[in-house]
Chain A
Amino acid sequence: MARRPPTPAHSPGARPLRSRLTQRSEERTQRLTTTRAVREAIVSLAGILGRPVRNQAGGEVGHLVDVVARWTDENPYPPVTGLVVRVGPRPAFIDIDMVGRLAHAEVELRSARLDLRDFSRRSGEVLLARDVLDHQLIDVDGVQVIRAADLYLAPVAGRIRLVGVDVSVQSLLRRLGPARWRPRPTPDRVIDWAAIQPFGDSAPTVRLRTSHEGLHRLRPGELADLLEDLGRPARQELLAALAPEAAADALEEMDPDELGALLREAEPDRAAALVASMEPDEAVDALRDLGRDDRAQLLACMPANRARELSGLLGYPGDEAAGFMTTILATAHPDETVAVVRARLAELDEHRSDVDAVAVVDEAGCLIGDLRLFDLLVAAPDEAVAGLLSDEQPVTVGPQSSVDEVAAQLMESRRSSVLVVADGRPLGRILADDVIDALTPDRGRLHFPRLLQ
């Protein structure tokens, strides 16, 4: 369309086409101008590394080795605090106040006098080339682990700040090529630094002090993906930055092998706390996949009652009903009122995904019915539970039932969960989604060298 010669003005539809073309070309010009403006304004870190640093008179002082920035909580864009410059054989630190101009391919100092100091890392400071460039970062908006191919600096609010990360292959090629290609930024796939969660990985003094608020908005499944993709130090750091509940939820979503590795490499106390916060059925799965001694160690680090409960569940083989049920069970007696049961359910708030019905038991603890949440919701608050029970028998399986038997029960009854019952007493509940997990073959998730199993 764009290549077509201009249509005569009198032909039908000419004006819209003409104006469309004009508009498009205007847009293109505008975009090019913007890109050019952006390119002028931003400085590529890869481009200025190794370039000469000159004083005001134009004399060469040394060569740029690294750029120091400080992670702060006030501003999402870390300010540059200084430069590491190789003067003669030794690296020296130059404060950013001494720097007059930081532009493409050249650094100019403000004065001819130079106050050289050795570089020593102050709290919160990172060396951008050594600690960030080519290292793993989290893009919180895109929910992915990235590796910085280039970093862009720009003047923002009177200071030079780190504003973006480049993850494009072009930038890698630009860095591979001759030195004169390097200063030209190629801002094609740039991620705003405000969306980035960095790590303190190779700079031990810069631990992740506050985590990116965006991290707390991520779904457990997304966090699990990030944890799987990060290297060991970074993922332990990410895990430590999360609230225990959020961390445990994320672990439940992880690939079992990845989870095993993660728990083995974490501090035993920390790993035990995480497993203890997981839903019992998931925690048992995780523990089952660990080696015998790792399992014993984690159980030993847990609160005694939690450890006892999990050890009990571990006694059942993983492919039998009792091995994959959850022991989170809401129970009620027939003479209790609906309001009392509702209050009890409210206390189970954190296990909401594991509760979809209330087991009604008699004085001896024997199961007499299974009450759906819907029935509870529509009943009057002062009604007794006994009045809600229908003639319908509760759907149950034995502790030794196989996944197939559980699935058959679920299909026959059209309910979303079944109760696991031994000697008439309910032990736990199996939800339909657990059965789906068990029946769905592993999808083609590929991860070397786990591929080989």
Chain B
Amino acid sequence: MTSEGAPAGAGLRSGHRRPRWPPGSAGDPQLLGSRVGSLSRGRRFLAYLAVAGPGLIAANAGNDAGGIVTYASAGSQYGYRTLFFMVLVTVGLVVAQEMSVRLGAFTGKGLASLIREQFSIRLTSLAMVCLLASNIGLVVSEFAGIGAAFGLFGVSRYLSVPVAAVAIWALVLFGSYRYAERVFLLLSVAFLAYPVAAVLGHTDWGMVGLDTAYPHFVASQPFVFLGVALIGTTISPYMQLYGAAGVVDRGIGPEEYRYERIDAVGGAIFADVVSMLIIVATAAAIGGSGPLASAHQAAQALRSVAGGGAEVLFGLGLLGASALAGAVVPLSTSYAVSEALGVERSVSRRFKEAPVFLGLFTAQVALGAIVALVPGNLIRLLINTQVIQGLLTPIILIFILILANRPEVLGPAVNGPVFRKVAALAVGSVACLAAAYLAFTVLGWFGV
């Protein structure tokens, strides 16, 4: 289900919101209404969320190009040994997502809006700069993903990345993006092959079980580096923003929050099970061969499913996932920054009337494409952008934690004493790992 990125779920959602049933068919609202009328309101609401809940969509946005490559690198470098770490990351993701959707449901405001209202202007600008930096990193990774995907088909990235950037920019601006989106969505379904590959491949399930349940770490700089990348790709600031916005956008309020929480927690766990299966599939295929160095190598994990077609399958999936997020991430970043600046109005107007929004969007796409064109290894670049995410994630998480701890923001839904401690511990651990990475890096400069 790696295709369940943000846009993927959104695609499903559109089918749900604007139904066009032929009269008298099984989907006819009148007939359906009478058939499921006996189900409780909550049950039905839950069924709706299970298909397209904002929590599920947001959490699965982590399984994009950067995610696939980082998980694959974890599998190839450390085999199954990062699985226990992923269990801890899952706890962090659950805590963060739950707080984000709770803030959205109880305040009815986006995260950027809340930060502007609740923090000083300096802290707000710190949060926005972090968000902008982290999301530009994501945009870079999406264009690197596009370059790597075309590389598998023998097309130079110096051709594919600029063309893709212009195409995405134009599609969004001139309004036919919605159709292109379906194509990208369809392509990214190729990543559904990963869980199948984990089952069909030569997986040592005993080792998988042991490494998942038995607490262990590898105390080395490469492991810390990979750990930060794994956190960055699994709990990115972008996801928190998206989760809260999705909840607000659908008018999910305090009454429905009970079900929304199931969606948020379930979505986070589901997303991480998929991530772990990507690690498992890659570990089974190329485990122990060191850090991932090329897309060809990553595609080997799908060999047990697609045989000789593994590279084509991987390439198509990577292209779809990257192109989808390549438009969505810059758009949502522009929205958040506009919200914090207080020019929301321009966002919902036509593009021409929204200079801030248009400028930010264009700048991000251009910057993302340019960085992805800098000569060097694309796979390394992809993982490095996830490290940037991992370093900035704790800052945004601290903002979220403070907001969720404030009774004047959440009223009765404020973090309880136990949750407060668990959340602080989770955020603190993420921050410590990021700090450890920075320490390793700085010490490295001095040759220690």
A contacts, CB < 8 Å to B: 46, 134-136, 144-149, 167, 169, 172, 175-176, 202, 225, 228-229, 231-233, 255-257, 260-265, 288-289, 291-293, 295-297, 314-319, 443-453
Contacts and interface: CB of A to CB of B under 8 A. Distances in A.
A148 B341 CA distance: 10
Contact of A449 (B36, B245, B348): B245
B447 to A, nearest CB: 38
Interface in B8-38: 10-11, 13-14, 17-23, 29-30, 32-33, 36-37
Contacts of A318: 20
Contacts of A296: 33, 37
A148 B343 CA distance: 11
Given A229-B348, A291-B48, A448-B332, 17 more contacts: A134-B117, A172-B341, A176-B122, A231-B108, A232-B248, A255-B348, A261-B248, A261-B250, A264-B250, A265-B251, A265-B253, A292-B44, A314-B30, A446-B331, A448-B336, A452-B7, A453-B13
Contact of A293 (B44, B250, B341): B44
Given A202-B408, A257-B17, A453-B10, A315 B125 contact: no
A453 B11 contact: yes
Contact of A264 (B13, B33, B253, B341): B253
A446 B351 contact: yes
20 contacts: A46-B121, A136-B342, A145-B345, A146-B342, A231-B113, A232-B107, A232-B108, A263-B251, A289-B17, A292-B44, A317-B21, A318-B20, A444-B174, A444-B350, A446-B354, A447-B347, A449-B242, A449-B332, A451-B328, A452-B11
B246 interface: yes
A50 to B, nearest CB: 10
B121 A445 contact: no
4 smallest CB-CB distances across A and B, nearest first, come from A232-B108, A147-B342, A452-B10, A264-B251
Contact of B121 (A146, A176, A231, A293): A176
A318 B242 CA distance: 31
A263 B110 CA distance: 18
Contacts of A255: 348
Contacts of A449: 6, 10, 242, 245-246, 249, 328, 332, 335
A176 B341 CA distance: 13
A231 B30 contact: no
A184 to B, nearest CB: 16
A448 B349 CA distance: 12
Contacts of A257: 17, 249
Most buried by B among A136, A229, A452: A452
A453 B8 CA distance: 9
Contacts of B334: 448
A317 B350 contact: no
Contact of A445 (B107, B109, B350): B350
A52 B381 CA distance: 51
A296 B20 CA distance: 18
Contacts of A292: 29, 32-33, 36, 44
B125 A448 contact: no
Given A265-B253, A453-B17, A445 B348 contact: yes
B214 interface: no
Contacts of A169: 341
Task: Name which of B10, B13, B29, B342 has the most chain A CB atoms within 10 A of its CB.
Answer: B342
Nearest to A146: B342
B121 A314 contact: no
A366 B6 CA distance: 54
A293 B33 CA distance: 8
Nearest to A167: B342
Contacts of A167: 342
- Residue of B19, B32, B344, B408 with highest tally of chain A CB at under 10 A: B344
A166 B124 CA distance: 18
A262 B253 CA distance: 11
A223 B185 CA distance: 36
Nearest to A447: B348
Nearest to A264: B251
B181 interface: yes
Interface string B104-135: 00011110010011000110110000000000
Contacts of A146: 342, 345
A445 B353 CA distance: 11
A233 B107 contact: yes
B157 to A, nearest CB: 26
Interface string B311-342: 00000000000000000100110111000011
Contacts of B14: 453
B45 interface: yes
Contact of B117 (A202, A260, A295, A317): A202
A319 B20 contact: yes
B104 to A, nearest CB: 9
A66 to B, nearest CB: 13
B202 interface: no
A319 B108 CA distance: 33
Contacts of B351: 444, 446
B143 interface: no
Contacts of B121: 46, 134, 172, 175-176
B175 interface: yes
B344 A229 contact: yes
A260 B48 CA distance: 15
Given A231-B109, A233-B108, A317 B251 contact: no
A57 to B, nearest CB: 31
A317 B342 contact: no
B331 A448 contact: yes
Contacts of B80: none
Nearest to B245: A449
A135 B335 CA distance: 17
A314 B33 CA distance: 12
A88 B375 CA distance: 59
B78 interface: no
Contacts of B113: 136, 231
Nearest to A317: B23
Given A289-B17, A315-B30, A453-B10, A445 B108 contact: no
Contact of B22 (A175, A202, A317): A317
Contact of B245 (A144, A229, A448): A448
Nearest to A231: B109
A229 B32 CA distance: 34
Interface string B354-373: 10010000000000000000
Contacts of B30: 314-315
Nearest to A171: B121
Contacts of B32: 292
Contacts of B17: 257, 260, 289, 453
A265 B255 CA distance: 9
B41 interface: yes
A290 to B, nearest CB: 9
A135 B177 CA distance: 33
A189 B115 CA distance: 24
A317 B107 contact: no
A262 B204 CA distance: 52
A14 to B, nearest CB: 43
Contacts of B348: 225, 228-229, 255, 445-447
A219 B253 CA distance: 29
Contact of A446 (B246, B251, B347): B347
A202 B109 CA distance: 12
B251 A262 contact: yes
Interface string B40-67: 0100110010000000000000000000
Contacts of A288: 19, 29
A257 B249 CA distance: 9
A4 B257 CA distance: 69
A229 B338 CA distance: 12
A46 B342 CA distance: 16
Given A293-B45, A444-B351, A452 B328 contact: yes
